[in-house]
Amino acid sequence: MNSILKFNSEPFIDALKAFFAELKVPVDYLADEPASPADILGEGFKENNEAHKLIADVYALGMVNDAIFDGTETFKNLAQVKKLKADYDGLLLFGVTLKNRKDGLPITRSQFAEITRAFNRTFAYTPVTIVFKYNNYISFANTERIKYKQEWREGEKVGKVTMLKDINVAKTHAAHLKILFNLNIENQRVNSFAKLYQYWQTQFSLQALNDQFYKDLQAWFYYATQKIKLPFKPDYINEKENIKNFLVRLLARTMFCWFVKEKGLIKLELLELTDWEGNKYNLTNDVDDQDFLQKNSYYRGVLQNVFYNALKQVIWDTDYRIFNTFFGVIFLQPVKNPSI
């Protein structure tokens, strides 16, 4: 996703166009100039609303509909879109720049969701997707639209907001890149608004993301059980069980440390795979090395130390039951083999 870098170096509207072009999404472009949130949302803009106060500029990028898939433009400006008085098979794309919150606090998921719902309520006849830009980050928000049960009600009800949040445009995380890459419709036989909307809803589904995460985790676990070698095995356990126990601890501690890092409770550098000089850590040392147990490694020297110190601090400073519920009792599993 080379276009991600453009959000950090080029005008926002140009970066937006490059972004959707790389996703192979045809867009019937509406406007290049920014507008105020009051101009776009009208009565839907609440100037005293804390979330709405964060909106700086709004770019009405364009419309994705069946006609534009065939290369035919249908709208010249947003005013024409606002005249729609019946459900329309199209997807409105907006770019929104955001101001900083007071005291440098991060923008919350609920604030993103509230802004996204405001746009969808204003444009009741067509779904809205928004790309937010703030500092060195972008977020991508999509909204489920549901038919009203009452036949007399016009438009569609705004459902669940799904989003890809806090994408660092200067140093994009591999997981974010993977999700963005999957939004590319080139190989998905997407040739209509309905297929695009359905496909993106699937890609942004939390259940789908969770399912894929656990599939990848399971696949790696079984792969690692076949490849890993450990230098030490207690007499009371067979080799296969010893490897599985180690991998469970490795994954559990890695996930715990990642969670703590994402919450900003430890410095990012602590979990980097390189030292301050850029040299890569050895994840493990050679198992044939006679001094293996006395030597340092990433797992023993970094990950294990971060895990125990972070867990100790969590137990002292917070209600541990929250972490016990979230991560499971696996983290308190006795370390039967302290050498690995």
pLDDT value of residue 127? 86
Question: What's the CA dihedral at 208, 6, 116, 124 to 10 degrees?
Answer: -100
Inter-CA distances, 95 with 12, 32, 99, 164, 176, Å: 8, 10, 14, 14, 19
- How many residues in the chain? 340
Task: Read off the pTM.
Answer: 0.68
Domain residue ranges of the chain, discontinuous segments joined by +: 2-204, 208-332
The dihedral through the CA atoms of 276, 280, 286, 289 has a sign that is negative
- Digitized pLDDT (tens) for each residue of the chain, 340 residues in all: 789 999 999 999 999 999 999 999 999 999 999 999 999 999 999 999 999 999 999 999 999 999 999 999 999 999 999 998 888 888 899 999 999 988 788 899 899 999 999 998 899 888 899 999 999 999 988 877 555 443 434 444 556 788 888 999 988 877 788 888 888 888 778 888 888 888 887 776 655 566 767 788 888 888 988 888 776 667 778 888 888 888 888 888 888 888 777 777 777 777 777 766 777 766 655 556 666 555 556 777 777 888 887 776 655 554 444 444 444 433 434 344 443 4
Structure tokens at 213: 């995460």
Inter-CA distances, 51 with 44, 46, 108, 115, Å: 12, 9, 9, 6
Collect contacts of 244-250 with beta carbons under 8 A, ≥24 apart. 245/336, 245/337, 246/337, 246/340, 247/221, 248/330, 248/333, 249/330, 249/333, 249/335, 250/299, 250/303
* 88 CB burial (10 A radius; 0-12, 13-18, 19+): middle
Structure tokens at 325: 């519920």
